[in-house]
Amino acid sequence: MTTSREDLPHTGLAPDTLTVAAGRPPREHDAPVNVPIVLSTTYHETRAPVPGDRIYARGSNPTWDPFEEALGALEAAGLPALVFSSGLGAAAAALSLVPTGGAVVMPRHAYAGSISLAADLAAQGRFELRTVDVADTAGVLAELDALAARFDEGQVMLWLESPTNPMLEVADLAVLTDAAHATGAIVVADNTFNTPIVHRPLESGVDVVLHSVTKWLAGHSDVVLGALVTSDSALRERLLAHRTLHGAVAGPFEVWLALRGLRTLALRMERSQATAAFLAHLLVDHPVVRRVRYPGLPADPGHERAARQFKGFGGIVSIELDDVPTADALVAAVRLWLPATSLGGVESLIERRRRQPAEPKTVPEALVRLSVGIENPEDLWADLDQALRQASGDQLASATAGKTGTLTDWMTD
CB 167 within 8 A of CB 199: no
Query: Which residues lie closer than 8 Å to 47 by C-beta, 6 or more apart?
Result: none
Report the distance separating Cα 378 and Cα 86, nearest Å.
Answer: 34
Q: Please tell me whether residue 371 adopts helix, strand or coil conformation.
A: strand
> What span, in angstroms and rounded, lies between the C-alpha atoms of 176 and 3?
29
Burial of 357 (0-12, 13-18, 19+ CB in 10 A): exposed
- Name the β-bridge partners of 351: 369
Give the C-alpha distances (Å, rounded to integers) separating 232 from 72, 179, 191, 206, 403. Answer: 12, 19, 17, 10, 54
CA distances, 236 to each of 25, 240, 272 (Å): 24, 6, 32
Is it true that the peptide bond before 166 is cis, omega within 30 degrees of 0? yes
Backbone torsions φ then ψ of 407, nearest 5 degrees: -60, -35
The CA distance from 402 to 382, in Å, is 8
**Helix, strand, or coil (residue 211):** strand
DSSP E strands, 233-298: 291-293
Active site residues: 58, 111, 190, 215
Q: Decide: 156 and 103 in contact? Cβ < 8 Å.
A: yes
Classify 104 as helix, strand or coil: strand
For residue 173, give the DSSP letter. Answer: H
